[in-house]
Amino acid sequence: MKKLESMEQFEQFKNNGKHIFMFSADWCPDCRVIEPILPEVEAKYQEYTFVYVDRDQFIDLCVQLEVFGIPSFIGFKEGQETGRFVSKDRKTQEEIENFIDGLN
């Protein structure tokens, strides 16, 4: 999983190709719970580039995208949002995969 380094990089990712942005933070216990399953999810959906967004480092982006709970996921394809799985609830591998399956 790539780690978002700048807003410029976000715009570049968002506007080119198929990306899933995962909003998370080091202190988030529900984010730590899903960490072990993420490599398997990434391997299953290789048509997407997965990007880790540190909520604390990119709080303005979270506000802009209305991400008020973590872990959360937003899909983009060629600059268009294709779907969002945004809540403060703990997520299961099945829920994450169902979200990805439902992206346009």
- Active-site positions read 28, 31
Q: Is 37 exposed, middle or buried (0-12, 13-18, 19+ CB in 10 A)?
A: middle
What's the 3-state SS for 15-73? Answer: HCCEEEEEEECCCCHHHHHHHHHHHHHHHHCCCCEEEEEECCCCHHHHHHCCCCCCCEE
d(CA 82, CA 84): 7
